[in-house]
Amino acid sequence: MEKSIRARVRAGDAAAFGQVFEDHAQAVYRHAVRMTGDRAVAEDVVSLTFLEGWRLRARVDPDGGSLRPWLLGIAGNVIRNTRRAARRHQRALARLPPREAVPDFAGELAGRIADAEELAAAKAALERLRPAEREVFALCVWEGLDHAAVAEALGRPVGTIRSRLSRARARLRELTAQELAATRSAKGQQKELPERPQRAGACGQVAGDRDLAVRPTKETIR
């Protein structure tokens, strides 16, 4: 009887593990991008996830279905370690002399996208979720895993996954509404600022008024 892919991986079959990589590398990458917001970091997460998966291959249960939940669980640990390393790096940089700020054009580009306010609000709200809730939301909603698979990935009871997902969805709706309200309030305050008075142009023409023809100076004085 032919061994399952899980049994082959557990036994150290490099070809079987290569097939696992082909089957699930994109899923790990998507998850990493959504959790980190950085494609370069996500590529590193994929590499580290499969290196760690190969190191831990003896822990694979030979019975079961897809190895995707197991790999996504490893990816979650890698992402947490990466964030800790990034925080240490940021603290080290903070001790260096300040550098000249570079203009950020992200806002200008986002303004060209339809529903930019809603997208920005949802992104900001997602970042305000607790890490555990954000991870469960990413696995259940974006990756489409069921509660049992997410429980396997994170090593938590199914009931915990259900409650975290429920809290994440409710909190995400609340935070998105808050972000939208804050953004629109700020824009409303900007609109209330007084406009600059228009200056008269040469020969008595008012700048910006297309209905008035240019008249000779003497005629405008009359």
Q: Residue 38 in contact with residue 88, Cβ under 8 Å?
A: no
- Collect all residues with Cβ–Cβ distance below 8 Å to 161 and sequence separation of at least 6: 136, 140, 147, 150, 151, 154
Q: What is the pLDDT of residue 194?
A: 57
Q: Which domains does the chain have, with CATH numbers?
A: 1-96 (1.10.1740.10), 118-192 (1.10.10.10)
Q: Residue 134 in contact with residue 35, Cβ under 8 Å?
A: yes
User: Tens place of pLDDT for every residue, the chain, 222 residues?
Assistant: 457 999 999 999 999 999 999 999 999 999 999 888 888 889 999 999 999 999 999 999 988 889 999 999 999 999 998 888 777 767 765 665 655 554 544 444 444 443 567 777 777 878 888 888 888 888 888 888 888 888 888 888 999 999 988 888 888 888 888 888 887 777 777 666 555 555 555 444 444 444 444 444 444 444
Q: What is the pLDDT of residue 210?
A: 46
Distance spanning both ends of the chain, measured CA to CA: 106
- Dist. CA 162–CA 156, nearest whole Å: 10
Assigned token pair, 207: 């700048």
